[in-house]
Amino acid sequence: MTAAGWCVLLFDSVSQVLLAEKVLKQAALGHKVIPVPRQISSDCGVCIRFDPAERDRVVEALAGKVEVREICFV
Amino acid sequence: MSRTVYLDNAATSWPKPEVMMKAMCAFSSSVGANPGRSGHTLSIEAARIILAARETVAALFAIPNPLRVAFTRNATEALNIAIHGLLGEGGHVVTSSMEHNSVMRPLRALEGRGLRVDAAPCSATGELDPRDLLPLLRPETKAVVITHASNVTGTLMPIGEIGAACRERGIALCVDASQTAGTVPIDVEAMRVDLLAFTGHKALLGPQGTGGLYLREGLEHKVAALMQGGTGSASEFEVQPGFMPDKYEAGTPNTIGIAGLGASAGFILERGVEAVREYETGLVARLLAGLSSIPGVSVHGVADASRRSAVVSFTLKGVSPSDAVLSLDANYGIMARPGLHCAPSAHRTIGTFPEGTLRFSPGFFTTPEDIDHAVEAVARIAQGKRR
């Protein structure tokens, strides 16, 4: 974890979260599936947390594979 | 020890592969949670199991994006979503005269509310000549809803030709793959299928209570959902999400069933649908040859095993299908199905309404010896012997 906190990837559905999880696993990029933090949304769903330092690599890995709704800092 | 020969795989396949039981036990004993609803380890693991099943099923039908598959209870629910969702506001639809009630009943229900239904006539062997269907397509036709193979005669429908004609005209093609998913190769793009309804408990060798609907990219905007409810997504809104697959998956799914379906579909995928098809076609050819040689037996449908799914309907002179099935069960341990098989129109087409037929449907675990045992039993019943 960096001083800036975490980045969070938001998706429309749980299925997309898990597709993204597979992509990040294959790309060997550190991440964790967590419940969506309350400060972002009241959605009862899940999202993916990762180190902001990896942001470019995460975005690149997911491009064209899974549609990301939003990337937030928490 | 009495022998059991199960020849009712067109109703539900049995036995099931060991991997299905293992996957269902593993879900129950070590996962158990509600998929993706809560964000904890077990909930996410349950959602992973469902995604893996979606990917396996998508691979079987050459669907590039697994999220295009929505899971349902069975093919009937999938067909109801497709038919009510596409045609609920009326219009014109074309079907065939060989359909199961899972297609005909939703269509007839909507007919009472203004839908116009045309059924293309099929031959006495259950075959559809595309030239009998194409003239029924009109500028206002919204969809063609048709079976891939008849559950009565096994006759395969010319889906590729119908699909090309529909795509040209911008008509949605909805295929009922209840009898073929897992046993006849299906490629939704090559066959130009827009909606594919399948069940998990037949040739996919999965548990009852599982099935699904594939919708081609963009069709979710044209097909209304039958039910609304919780999806674990877009929870801040009180309207149903419009994206796949959540739009059609309201409420807690049958995760234990889907775990089993994923394992069974993987079992088929590993062996290859082509290999399954070749094996079952051999069984059907053996069954057709055996039954056709018995005096007093009339076999319905096309004579060529390669042009039918693993279903053989026949009638016995002087013995009703129900009496024959009773004797096959009691005296020979053979499980078969008599009657109309929920498809009255198909029986009218082949001339066996209202008595129906006797149906043998072998499956992946049926052996050539099972077929020979069944043929011998029918021969004895035809001769008027009890055993």
Checking if the pLDDT of B124 tops 80, the result is: yes
Q: 10 Å Cβ neighbour count for A38?
A: 9
What CATH number does the domain containing A18 carry?
Answer: 3.30.70
Number of domains in chain A: 1
- Stretch (H or E) spanning B288: helix B273-292
Nearest to B51 among A19, A42, A43 (CB): A19
Number of residues that make up chain A: 74
Chain position carrying tokens 């990762």: A50
Beta-carbon separation of B54 and A45 below 8 A: no
What ipTM was predicted for this assembly? 0.86
- Alpha-carbon gap: A52 to the closest alpha carbon of chain B (Å): 21
d(CA B1, CA A55): 67
Contacts of A46 in chain B (CB under 8 A): 36, 39, 43-44, 47
- Alpha-carbon gap: B237 to the closest alpha carbon of chain A (Å): 9
Q: Two tokens at B5? A: 């020969």
Q: What tens digit of pLDDT does each residue of B207-249 get? A: 999 999 999 999 999 999 999 998 888 888 889 999 999 999 9
Three-class DSSP category at B145: strand
* Nearest in space to B9 (alpha carbons), one of B198, B176, B278, B206: B206
Answer whether residue A34 is part of any domain.
Answer: yes
Range of the domain at A28: 7-73
**What is the residue-wise DSSP string for B198-230?**
EESSSTT---TT-EEEEE-TTGGGTS--S----
Mean pLDDT on B108-131: 96
Contact A27, A59 (CB under 8 A): no
B148 residue type, one letter = H
Residues of chain A with pLDDT under 70: 1-4, 42, 44
Q: Does the domain formed by B18-271 have CATH 3.10.180.10? A: no
Nearest to B37 among A16, A33, A44 (CB): A44
Contacts of B54 in chain A (CB under 8 A): 15
Beta-carbon separation of B47 and A13 below 8 A: no
* Nearest in space to B247 (alpha carbons), one of B283, B220, B282: B220
Contacts of A41 in chain B (CB under 8 A): 236
Class of the CATH-defined domain B5-15+272-382: alpha beta
- Alpha-carbon gap: B59 to the closest alpha carbon of chain A (Å): 15
Interface of B with A (CB under 8 A): 35-40, 43-44, 47-48, 50-51, 54, 66-67, 231-236, 241, 243, 245-246
Range B65-96 burial, b when 16+ CB lie within 10 A, else e: ebbbbbbbbbbbbbbbbbbbbbbeeeebbbbb
* Number of separate helices (H) and strands (E) present in chain A: 2, 4
Answer whether residue A1 is part of any domain.
Answer: no
d(CA B309, CA B316): 22
Q: What are the φ and ψ backbone dihedral angles of B342, each rounded to 5 degrees?
A: 60, 25
CA pseudo-torsion sign B176, B178, B60, A59: positive
Q: What tens digit of pLDDT does each residue of B267-277 get? A: 999 999 999 99
Q: What tens digit of pLDDT does each residue of B2-21 get? A: 789 999 999 999 999 999 99
- Alpha-carbon gap: B261 to the closest alpha carbon of chain A (Å): 17
Per-domain boundaries in chain B: 5-15+272-382, 18-271
Contacts of B38 in chain A (CB under 8 A): 35, 44
* Distance from the Cα of residue B274 to its chain's centroid: 17
